[in-house]
């Protein structure tokens, strides 16, 4: 169920910018048929406060998982908003330890289940994608597989490409009014730039992008998780990563990454690579594989005392 998109039940009042008020009766009737309700970030960030309130009220006393990707105080514009709602029947799940600790300080218990990834996904088309991008066989390509908003630090990704003399590829669109600033940032760079996907088709865009690139850049100043941190390992590509708080938590698993001020070291590695890629892949497989997700969810639910 969602406010829009390819879902079984569209309830427009759940959308981020709802075209109409939330329909309590329809929402209640739809949830009445569920054995378990999973709320994906709706009661985490106050992007739709009326839907937040309605879902919380209807789910009181019902088995519900609140899956938190972000929390209000982690975004400046929502810092004064109250914590997520809570209820004895609910299980709060965060995607990092930092958020779990911050909820605990506010009296809300939670468990951590990190984002997981397929280790056997489709292989991307390196040669064909680079040809579509106009990238030569010997040219270096730095991929920033993010949207363009201030905290994604596009300037930092460009700096990596400039230090390597590489083409810079920003995959995602500008959002939240960042378009004019992005245009200015891209106009000032000294390296070739590509922006946006080069082919359509669900599931192929990311695999092709990772296959085509030589370096992945994630220079963000804030991420709730930062999927490219692990995706780069899955696709066996070196990563340049910003010093956002959760990156330190993920680095503790043993990943070998290059920080944004370590481009000389990255350049040396590109000239003479060692076992870094295989090392990072094995860590991703050990700790972040989607095949282990069912057992982690089961353990979290049993910890609440839920029996099925």
Give the pLDDT confidence score for residue 306 in this predicted structure: 79
Q: What is the mean pLDDT of residues 86-112?
A: 97
**Average pLDDT, whole number, for the chain?**
95
CA distance 165 to 87: 54
* Residue 289 predicted with pLDDT over 80: yes
Give the pLDDT confidence score for residue 201 in this predicted structure: 54
* Residue 150 predicted with pLDDT over 50: yes
* Residue 207 predicted with pLDDT over 60: yes
Q: What is the mean pLDDT of residues 20-27?
A: 94
The CB density around residue 240, as the number of other CB atoms within 10 Å, is 27
Give the pLDDT confidence score for residue 33 in this predicted structure: 87
Give the pLDDT confidence score for residue 198 in this predicted structure: 86
Q: Is 91 exposed, middle or buried (0-12, 13-18, 19+ CB in 10 A)?
A: buried
Same CATH topology for 12-116+291-303 and 126-288: the answer is yes
Q: Which of 38-42, 102-106, 121-125, 220-224 is least confident?
A: 121-125
* Dihedral, 244, 145, 94, 20 alpha carbons, nearest 10: 120
* Residue 77 predicted with pLDDT over 80: yes
Give the pLDDT confidence score for residue 204 in this predicted structure: 66
Tell me the pLDDT band of 122, cut-offs 50, 70 and 90: confident
* Residue 196 predicted with pLDDT over 70: yes
Give the pLDDT confidence score for residue 205 in this predicted structure: 83
3-state secondary structure of 96: coil
Tell me the pLDDT band of 202, cut-offs 50, 70 and 90: very low
Give the pLDDT confidence score for residue 308 in this predicted structure: 63
CATH number, domain 12-116+291-303: 3.40.50
- Domain spans of the chain? 12-116+291-303, 126-288
Q: Is 21 exposed, middle or buried (0-12, 13-18, 19+ CB in 10 A)?
A: exposed
* Residue 244 predicted with pLDDT over 50: yes
Q: Is 303 exposed, middle or buried (0-12, 13-18, 19+ CB in 10 A)?
A: exposed
Q: What is the mean pLDDT of residues 55-84?
A: 95
Give the pLDDT confidence score for residue 200 in this predicted structure: 60
pLDDT tens digit sequence for 123-149? 899 999 999 999 999 999 999 999 999
CA distance 68 to 44: 6
Give the pLDDT confidence score for residue 243 in this predicted structure: 96
* Residue 11 predicted with pLDDT over 80: yes
- pTM equals 0.94
Q: What is the mean pLDDT of residues 2-9?
A: 93
Tell me the pLDDT band of 68, cut-offs 50, 70 and 90: very high
CA distance 151 to 180: 16
Q: Is 22 exposed, middle or buried (0-12, 13-18, 19+ CB in 10 A)?
A: buried
Pick the CATH number of 126-288 from 3.40.50.11540, 3.40.50.2000, 3.90.1200.10, 3.40.50.2300: 3.40.50.2000
Q: Which of 52-66, 119-133, 237-251 is least confident?
A: 119-133
Q: What is the mean pLDDT of residues 29-57?
A: 95
């Amino acid at each position: 169920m969602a406010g829009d998109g390819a879902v079984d039940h569209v309830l427009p009042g759940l959308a981020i910018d709802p075209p109409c008020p939330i329909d309590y009766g329809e929402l209640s009737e739809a949830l009445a048929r569920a054995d378990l309700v999973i709320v994906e970030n709706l009661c985490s960030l106050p992007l739709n406060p009326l839907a937040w309130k309605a879902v919380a009220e209807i789910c009181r006393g019902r088995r519900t998982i609140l899956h938190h990707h972000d929390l209000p105080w982690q975004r400046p514009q929502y810092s004064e908003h109250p914590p997520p709602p809570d209820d004895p029947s609910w299980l709060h799940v965060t995607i990092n330890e930092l958020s779990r600790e911050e909820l605990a300080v506010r009296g809300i218990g939670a468990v951590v289940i990190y984002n997981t990834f397929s280790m056997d996904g489709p292989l991307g088309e390196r040669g064909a994608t680079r040809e579509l991008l106009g990238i030569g066989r010997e040219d270096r390509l730095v991929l920033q597989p993010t949207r363009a908003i201030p905290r994604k630090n596009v300037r930092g990704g460009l700096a990596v490409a400039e230090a390597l003399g590489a083409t810079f590829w920003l995959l995602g669109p500008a959002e939240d009014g960042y378009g004019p600033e992005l245009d200015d940032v891209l106009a000032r760079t000294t390296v070739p730039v590509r922006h946006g996907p080069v082919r359509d088709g669900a599931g192929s865009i990311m695999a092709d992008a990772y296959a085509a690139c030589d370096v992945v850049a994630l220079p963000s100043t804030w991420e709730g998780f930062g999927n490219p941190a692990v995706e780069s390992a899955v696709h066996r590509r070196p990563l340049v990563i910003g010093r956002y708080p959760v990156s330190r938590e993920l680095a503790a698993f043993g990943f070998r990454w290059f920080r944004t001020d370590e481009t000389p070291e990255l350049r040396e590695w590109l000239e003479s690579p060692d076992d870094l890629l295989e090392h990072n892949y094995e860590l991703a497989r050990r700790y972040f594989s989607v095949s282990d997700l069912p057992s982690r969810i089961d353990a979290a639910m049993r910890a609440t005392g839920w029996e099925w």
